[in-house]
Amino acid sequence: MPDLGACYKKSGQCLFTVWAPFLKALSLHLTGKNDIFLPMAMDAKGFWSIDVLQAPPGTRYTFRFEDGKDRPDPASFDQPEDIFGASCVVDHSAFWWQDDDWKSPQLEEMVFYELHVGAFTPLGTFEAIIERLDDLKDLGVNALELMPVAQFPGKRGWGYDGVFPYAVQHSYGGPAGLKALVNACHLKGMAVVLDVVYNHFGPEGNILAEFMPCFNEKYQTPWGMAINFDGPDSWGVRNFLIQNALYWFRHYHVDALRLDAVHGMHDMSAKHFLKELCEEISLFPRKVYLIAESDLNDVRAIGPFDKGGWGLDAQWNDDFHHALHALLTNERQGYYGDFGKVAHLAKAQKEGFVYSWDYSSFRRRFHGSSSSEVSAKHFIVYSQNHDQIGNRLKGERLSGLISFEGLKLAAAAVLLSPYIPLIFMGEEYAEDSPFLYFMDFKSQELLQAVREGRKKEFSRFQWKEEPVDPHEETAFLRSRIDWGRRIEEKGAVMLSFYQKLIRLRKSVDALAHPDKERLKVRTDEALRVLTVIRWFKESLVCVVMNFNSAEIQLTSGALLPGDWNKILDSSDTQWLGPGNINPGVITTPVKNLVFKPQSCVVFEKISGGARNSLQTR
């Protein structure tokens, strides 16, 4: 298939290609002081193209239809004048990359940090993020995950309403800004993950349907008509998105793509679009990753090709989040009604999915498939992310819902789990500003539809208050994180606590290897305690998590016989906790061990080795 968009060659020469199989005529309109109209030719597959000798970088252009109106390029690489303006020629070879020796961390070695470019710094640009990379590296992060940066309406938004999948949001810094950020991350040893949206296109400024049959009316999604993955002429739509994925890897050097809401991709083809995408990506000359967001609990998404899977490298695990959130907050509205027991988090720790063809009262049906045989490296877990915060009525973070002790417990549950952890921006220092949904649509009809849609969504959680208007600029401004809180007492202590957890995760063998096979869980539902035992070779660790709001005592039976070093206790005074009387070194058996309310204590075996200790059980 030909490369889409304005592919600049050299010496001013540029090849323009667009797929528009049902148009009868199309012209390239080079805009400027002297408008130039050049008729394009269509091949047998519906690709229109023209090779122009003088269209240097920066040239503005549109496509002129038979009706005499112009449209931007659906595969535009840059939209300097927002979504309604002309497209712009970009020379992707002009950027000076310095990452020739770059080798991404393995997926299972990553610690993700999700951020929104506009809300991460006061300037809200790629360049401003670069100035904060050392802070993230000091935290222990080695994978920066960006919420969508494809061009969307206006100057503020989450990015999930993008209408130019190949263009980089100009207000963030455009193509050069994103490349500079990726380059800087690689020089500091950090991978870059980009969130892309292949389940729907944004409603405002969407010109894609005027070029190609991109929608399939057979299916509906929460965002309107579904993308055409299996209808007539769907091959060209699939090609448009597959080329887009390769485009980010090739021209922007990103290391992974996070695919938004793949449950919104309706495809009854013999080869699902995601499988075809994985097959194409596997041919890329360096190792890159595809990560799914899905609420289906369907292991096919991350299953290997030879077992009927689609081959994605990993997926977000909402069940882990819901189980942890319900235990910490005692919320039972909406989908949290399916959770709330220690056993739910125990199953998430041991298997991955909590609902593996179990009855869901929220869905009123059986839900999910078993992930017990799926490797831990295929799951990404979190206590917070943009969705779980921003889709609340008030956009509250956990810091606005639970105690400081509970925040430390949440961090330990995620960062000491057998899965790949994700931190949402500001979480590491207990940021308490909300993260609200915000957008900048111009259409009043769309604005009203968004407002009504969110009210309907909130009603499922029995939230009765009036939500913040997402179009008001204050919704965006209130969502910016406050870097000054990192140096205030509680913020600084929480930051140190996160750093400690990440160091333990990387330095203790039993914690450093995502592995569900070398893991045992024990629960005490009455006491609301979860104990997780993990081992690797001679390393053995016992993590005790107390979700009780009261102090509890356990016998030393929680620990295997031998000598144990207490390597972390979230209730210690150095973490602004109430203090604990348990000694730093414990030789079992002892009468009782004390666990403060909502605390996490980590013990590491000193003597005997993991293999010998486990054999004595």
Tell me whether residue 114 is one of the annotated catalytic residues.
Answer: no
- Residue 267 annotated among the catalytic residues of the structure: no
Q: Which of 73, 260, 338, 604 is catalytic?
A: 260
Q: Which residue has the tokens 């995502």?
A: 514
Pairing status of strand 112-115 against strand 70-71: unpaired
Tokens of 189: 């040893």
Between strands 112-115 and 143-146, the pairing is: parallel
- Nearest one of 210, 193, 207, 255 to 76, comparing CA atoms: 207
Residue 440 exposure: Cα atoms within 13 Å on the Cβ side: 18
Give all strands of the β-sheet with 5-8 in edge-to-edge order. 5-8, 14-19, 47-52, 41-42
Strands 599-605 and 70-71: unpaired
Is omega for the bond preceding 589 within 30 degrees of 0, making it cis?
A: yes
In this structure, the number of other CB atoms found within 10 A of the CB of residue 244 comes to 19
Q: Which residues of 314-344 are buried (b: 16+ CB within 10 A; e: fewer)?
A: bbbbbbbbbbbbbbbbebeebbbebbbebeb
Phi then psi for residue 581, to 5 deg, are -95, -5
Integer CA distances (angstroms), 468 to 7, 306, 428, 454, in order: 43, 48, 25, 10
- Identify the active-site residue in 276, 293, 431, 569: 293
Residue holding tokens 């080329």? 243
Could you tell me how many residues make up the chain? Answer: 617
CB atoms closer than 10 angstroms to residue 304 = 10
CB 4 within 8 A of CB 17: yes
- What is the set of active-site residues? 260, 293
